[in-house]
Structure formats: structure tokens, C-alpha cells
Amino acid sequence: MTKQILITVGTTKFEKLIKSLDRENFYHFFDNMKFDKMIIQKGSGEYVPEMYNNIKLENLKVEVHDIINNFENVIKSSEYIISHAGAGIILESLKNKKKVFVAVNDTLMDNHQTELAEALYIDNYIFYIKDTENIVEEVTNTIANINCQNWKPYPDFNLDAIPNVIYDMLSI
């Protein structure tokens, strides 16, 4: 079975996150943890991670994509997700019981990602990276000490919740 990690900024541009992770010690950490695959979806950003090309990795293969097809399958196949704080990727990852690291893209208007990230972090559903300058250390330290984290799986989605509310309102 493949051990895989996904890094994604969705279809947007979040150069700060992608650049922060493109470091030798980041790739070596996952290589040493016997991960086979790292998939990086860089979105519409111009920066292309390439540090992994300059180092010797025993296990880890790195793929870089602008956009990924069959994204839900990639999420399902990944053990960890490192992402911007987009609602879609976070909810899809939580639905699939993944451990999610979230960094807020503070260049977006109204900084709505912060509200979502903070709410999910307070309830221990995600790990919120507040400082992308130290993201490699925060991610690797958290994973290395994962048993010490108070990380809990997101509750199963109740797909009947909205229809049931509507039925109750209509007395059906």
C-alpha cells in the first residue's frame, strides 16, 4: 500500500505556502518516514517546487501538478493533507477522515479562511498553521509526535440533515 501526502492550494495562487514547503528537510522527513508519494497541486501559482530534484530520496517520489483530476481519489489515497484553508478541500479531507494541516492564504479578500481554520482548529479537527515561515517545522514536529496530539476525526456527514429540516418545516 502506498503512503502518500497531498499538498494543495486548490486552483488559486498561494506562492508563500508552496515556497515554504519546497525545502530539503521537508522532503527528507517524508522520505525517512517511508512515504512513497508526495503530490503537490500548485494551482495557478508561478513557482514550481523543484528542490526534490537536487537531493537523493530513497522512497519518496514527488509529483507537481497545476490541477489534479480525480481529486477526491487523491484525497482518499493520502494519509495527510497540507492545504490552504479553502472550505472545499478541508471538508472533503475531513469527510474522508484525513489529518489536515491548514495554512490561511491571507492575501485573499476578507480573510474568510481564518474564520474557518480557527473554528475547526478550536474543535481539534485540523492543525492550523499560523506562520508559514515555520511550516516545515510545525508539520514535521506534529507528525513525528502525532500520538501526543489531541486530533479528533470529524463526525460523519449526515446527508439527511437538510432534507429532514425541510420536511419538518413542511410538516411532511
Q: What mean pLDDT is reported for the chain? A: 87
Which segments of the chain does DSSP mark as H helices, in order? 15-21, 24-32, 71-77, 87-95, 112-122, 135-144, 161-170
pLDDT at residue 153 tops 90: no
pLDDT at residue 147 tops 60: no
More confident residue, 163 or 143: 143
Rounded distance, CA 162 to CA 96, Å?
20
* Per-residue pLDDT, 22: 96
Domain 4-170 has CATH 3.40.50.2000: yes
The residues spanned by each domain of the chain are 4-170
pLDDT at residue 7 tops 90: yes
pLDDT at residue 131 tops 80: no
